[in-house]
């Protein structure tokens, strides 16, 4: 992930890095000039003052340029990361997104993206102070190579301690990152389950004390402990620096030529170097946090692969027939705590036909609908559109046939798929009136004025979108479950026949047996298999037309 970001902004990163290096070099030169000025004669002060002024100006300008460039780099990195992740989400196979979970994606888009972006903002501090520390070491070698070798030993000893602390701190930061993914899921439950939490005091108390608070505390504790280790190791480094200053001033530098110059130079170098070294040690943890976050983003985005070719903006396919030929899908069934097999299924769908899909909870109705619309590829068998088989190359194009309203549907705040015609608002508002929503919400500039509606009203709003999309195949998953009796009658007696008259193929998943006779065909499912197909007319009860004798009940 970090390599990807560097590649995306290579020129900007190089420019910003050079400015930071220049800032560090000029800072060291400024220190050397201060040390020399303390021992030079009066005659040299005028030329040294001009050099000092030029160097100070260079320090200021290089700092400004480096800071601005790295700020731009950080913001670009944040933007690039979010764009990269969202593109992965949009193109990923739907089943993989279900398995991955929205909480991990939200964590990557918020916390982890921010951590990586902060690394680029702190990088000039790390780079500049590293140059300052290296420059100070070079200046120390110029003053006395014997003392310089002793400094190398001290720094090596300090670095070993810092490295061991680093390894332990990273483990705690990774544990905090893992727990934070769970915490984002709990945050979602906090709002999605607000009704249930307010209705049940014991549930609310247990969720807060035993779930939410413990997760928050674990993230805090792990991250605090990890960062505390870094701070302690930085303090250890500072202690070694001051200890070395004392050894140099009072032990190593004896009665030698230029003793005053060497002692003054070392004192200045070490006092000056403490600040950059402390900043370096404190900002390296931000780089480690960025590394952990980048690895988390890598893990998440690697799990979001796509096996399909993406469809360009072309006309949706026409519908003559859709056939499921021996399609089969397996998945983990939570209610039964076992692998569940859906199929093999053989079905035909045609325009101008209303099909009801019925069966008990957990019988596989919604999974069959997801396989029909192309969200789940069949593990066996074939889906055939107008005589042509559907595969990974054309499955995304095939999906453009369908408009769906699943029981867990999401309602966008604007009409994204319906174009931007001048009459879009007018058509939308006419449909809102038809569904008795005109006093609750309106369409303005292609967007809904509010989504703060009841679940039944939101489903009616989703039906408005379905009408405006005007696709040839509509799938309704328990659409009428949240409607009052009046709108149930309107849906079954008026809207469905109207859609059929428009030539639409319609699949309705329903438990409303009082309306089953309105279907052109009724399909009954049990334990992942179709056990019976029935046909009916608007005036007569459905009658059995086909029994699937091959069905073997799962015991």
Q: Assess whether pLDDT exceeds 70 at residue 313.
A: no
Q: Assess whether pLDDT exceeds 70 at residue 220.
A: yes
Residue 489 and residue 447 share a domain: yes
Q: Assess whether pLDDT exceeds 80 at residue 284.
A: no
Q: Assess whether pLDDT exceeds 60 at residue 554.
A: no
Question: Average pLDDT of 187-209?
Answer: 79
Domain assignment present for residue 110? The answer is: yes
Question: Average pLDDT of 312-323?
Answer: 79
State the CATH number of the domain containing residue 484: 3.40.50.300
pLDDT of 260 reads 64
Q: Assess whether pLDDT exceeds 60 at residue 334.
A: no
Q: Does residue 430 or residue 121 have the better pLDDT?
A: 430
Lowest mean pLDDT among 330-344, 346-360, 504-518: 330-344
Domain assignment present for residue 552? The answer is: no
The band of 360, judged by pLDDT with boundaries at 50, 70 and 90, is confident
Question: Average pLDDT of 39-63?
Answer: 78
User: Taking the model in full, what pTM does it have?
Assistant: 0.66
Domain assignment present for residue 236? The answer is: yes
Yes or no: say if 66 and 27 are a contact pair by the CB < 8 Å rule. Answer: no
Tell me if residue 135 falls in helix, strand or coil. helix
Among 137-141, 221-225, 416-420, the range with the most confident prediction by mean pLDDT is 221-225
Question: Average pLDDT of 84-91?
Answer: 85
Question: Average pLDDT of 366-386?
Answer: 92
Q: Assess whether pLDDT exceeds 50 at residue 303.
A: yes
The radius of gyration of the chain's CA atoms, rounded to the nearest angstrom, is 34
User: Which of 274, 302, 330 is where one domain is finished?
Assistant: 302
Q: Of 366, 387, 383, nearest to 374 (Cα)? A: 383
**Residue pointed to by tokens 């990273």:** 170
Residue 112 and residue 257 share a domain: yes
> Which residues lie closer than 8 Å to 448 by C-beta, 6 or more apart?
413, 414, 441, 442, 461
Q: Assess whether pLDDT exceeds 50 at residue 548.
A: no
Residue 127 and residue 77 share a domain: yes
Domain assignment present for residue 312? The answer is: no
The band of 335, judged by pLDDT with boundaries at 50, 70 and 90, is low
Among 82-91, 311-320, 418-427, the range with the most confident prediction by mean pLDDT is 82-91
Expressed as residue numbers, the domain containing 269 is 2-302
> Which residues lie closer than 8 Å to 196 by C-beta, 6 or more apart?
203
pLDDT of 124 reads 74
pLDDT of 369 reads 93
Domain assignment present for residue 517? The answer is: yes
Q: Assess whether pLDDT exceeds 50 at residue 551.
A: no
Please return the burial class of 475, using the count of CB atoms within 10 Å of its CB with bins 0-12, 13-18 and 19+: buried
Residue 331 and residue 236 share a domain: no
Residue 179 and residue 75 share a domain: yes
Q: Does residue 491 or residue 424 have the better pLDDT?
A: 491
The band of 314, judged by pLDDT with boundaries at 50, 70 and 90, is low
Write b or e for each residue in 93-105: b if 16 or more Cβ atoms lie within 10 A of its Cβ, otherwise e.
beeebeebbebbb
Lowest mean pLDDT among 257-261, 440-444, 445-449: 257-261
**CA separation (Å) from 242 to 151, 237, 255, 275?**
11, 9, 22, 12
C-alpha to C-alpha distance for 97 and 85, rounded to whole angstroms: 12
pLDDT of 41 reads 58
Domain assignment present for residue 341? The answer is: yes
C-alpha to C-alpha distance for 534 and 300, rounded to whole angstroms: 45
Lowest mean pLDDT among 83-92, 268-277, 500-509: 268-277
pLDDT of 540 reads 45
Residue 296 and residue 386 share a domain: no
What number of residues does the chain have? 555
Tell me if residue 253 falls in helix, strand or coil. coil
Domain assignment present for residue 308? The answer is: no
pLDDT of 300 reads 86
Residue 329 and residue 391 share a domain: yes
pLDDT of 323 reads 94
Q: Of 337, 398, 352, 380, nearest to 496 (Cα)? A: 352
State the CATH number of the domain containing residue 88: 1.20.1560.10
Domain count of the fold of the chain: 2
User: Which of 252, 267, 302 is where one domain is finished?
Assistant: 302
Please return the burial class of 255, using the count of CB atoms within 10 Å of its CB with bins 0-12, 13-18 and 19+: exposed
Q: Assess whether pLDDT exceeds 50 at residue 304.
A: yes
Residue 380 and residue 297 share a domain: no
Q: Assess whether pLDDT exceeds 50 at residue 172.
A: yes
Residue 426 and residue 295 share a domain: no
- Mean pLDDT score of the chain: 80
DSSP state of 316: P
C-alpha to C-alpha distance for 410 and 106, rounded to whole angstroms: 16
Yes or no: say if 345 and 368 are a contact pair by the CB < 8 Å rule. Answer: yes
Q: Assess whether pLDDT exceeds 80 at residue 460.
A: yes
User: What's the N-to-C CA distance of the chain in angstroms?
Assistant: 48
Residue 252 and residue 171 share a domain: yes
pLDDT of 422 reads 64
Lowest mean pLDDT among 6-10, 45-49, 257-261, 371-375: 257-261
Q: Assess whether pLDDT exceeds 50 at residue 541.
A: no
Residue 372 and residue 291 share a domain: no
413-427, pLDDT tens digit by residue? 877 765 555 678 888
pLDDT of 262 reads 65
Lowest mean pLDDT among 247-251, 486-490, 498-502: 247-251
C-alpha to C-alpha distance for 64 and 58, rounded to whole angstroms: 10
Yes or no: say if 108 and 115 are a contact pair by the CB < 8 Å rule. Answer: no
Percent of the chain with pLDDT over 70: 86
Residue 218 and residue 141 share a domain: yes
User: Which of 243, 273, 302 is where one domain is finished?
Assistant: 302
Question: Average pLDDT of 56-64?
Answer: 87
Please return the burial class of 549, using the count of CB atoms within 10 Å of its CB with bins 0-12, 13-18 and 19+: exposed
The band of 34, judged by pLDDT with boundaries at 50, 70 and 90, is confident
The band of 230, judged by pLDDT with boundaries at 50, 70 and 90, is confident
Q: Does residue 253 or residue 484 have the better pLDDT?
A: 484
E strands, 445-495, in order = 447-448, 473-477
Domain assignment present for residue 78? The answer is: yes
DSSP state of 43: G
């Amino acid at each position: 992930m970090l390599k990807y970001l560097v590649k995306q902004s290579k020129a900007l990163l190089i420019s910003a890095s050079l400015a930071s290096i220049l800032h560090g070099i000029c800072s060291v030169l400024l220190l050397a000039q201060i040390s020399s000025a303390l021992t030079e004669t009066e005659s040299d002060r005028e030329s040294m003052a001009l050099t000092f002024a030029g160097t100070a100006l260079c320090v200021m300008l290089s700092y400004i340029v480096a800071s601005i460039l790295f700020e731009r780099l950080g913001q670009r990195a944040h933007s690039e990361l979010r764009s990269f992740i969202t593109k992965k989400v949009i193109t990923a196979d739907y089943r993989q997104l279900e398995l991955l979970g929205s909480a991990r994606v939200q964590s990557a888009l918020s916390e982890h993206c921010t951590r990586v972006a902060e690394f680029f903002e702190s990088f000039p501090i790390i780079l500049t102070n590293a140059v300052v520390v290296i420059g100070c070491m070079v200046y120390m070698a110029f003053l006395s190579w014997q003392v310089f070798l002793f400094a190398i030993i001290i720094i090596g000893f300090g670095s070993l301690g810092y490295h061991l602390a680093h390894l332990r701190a990273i483990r705690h930061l990774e544990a905090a990152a893992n727990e934070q993914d769970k915490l984002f899921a709990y945050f979602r439950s906090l709002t999605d389950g607000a009704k249930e939490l307010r209705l049940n005091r014991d549930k609310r108390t247990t969720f807060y004390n035993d779930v939410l608070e413990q997760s928050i505390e674990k993230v805090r504790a792990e991250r605090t402990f990890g960062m505390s280790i870094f701070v302690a190791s930085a303090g250890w480094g500072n202690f070694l620096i001051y200890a070395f200053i004392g050894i140099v001033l009072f032990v190593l530098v004896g009665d030698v030529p230029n003793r005053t110059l060497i002692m003054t130079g070392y004192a200045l170098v070490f006092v000056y170097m403490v600040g950059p070294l402390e900043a370096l040690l404190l900002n390296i943890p931000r780089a480690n946090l960025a590394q952990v976050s980048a690895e988390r983003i890598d893990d998440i985005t690697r799990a979001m692969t796509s096996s399909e070719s993406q469809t360009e903006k072309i006309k949706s396919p026409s519908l003559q027939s859709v056939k499921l030929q021996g399609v089969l899908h397996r998945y983990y069934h939570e209610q039964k705590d076992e692998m569940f097999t859906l199929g093999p299924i053989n079905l035909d769908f045609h325009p101008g036909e209303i099909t009801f899909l019925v069966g008990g909870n957990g019988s596989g109705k919604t999974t069959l609908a997801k396989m029909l619309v192309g969200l789940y590829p069949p593990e066996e068998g074939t889906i055939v559109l107008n005589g042509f088989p559907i595969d990974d190359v054309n499955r995304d194009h095939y999906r453009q046939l369908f408009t769906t309203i699943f029981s867990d549907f999401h309602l966008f705040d604007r009409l994204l798929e319906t174009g931007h015609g001048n009459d879009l608002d007018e058509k939308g508002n006419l449909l809102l009136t038809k569904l008795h929503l005109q006093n609750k919400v309106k369409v303005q500039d292609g967007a809904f004025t509010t989504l703060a509606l009841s679940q039944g009203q939101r489903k009616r709003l989703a039906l408005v979108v379905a009408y405006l999309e005007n696709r040839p195949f509509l799938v309704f998953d328990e659409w009428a479950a949240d409607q009052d009796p009046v709108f149930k009658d309107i849906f079954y007696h008026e809207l469905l026949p109207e859609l059929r008259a428009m030539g639409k193929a319609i699949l309705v998943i329903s438990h409303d047996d009082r309306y089953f006779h309105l279907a052109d065909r009724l399909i009954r499912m049990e334990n992942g298999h179709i056990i019976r197909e029935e046909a009916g007319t608007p005036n007569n009860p459905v009658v059995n037309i086909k029994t699937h004798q091959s069905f073997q009940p799962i015991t």
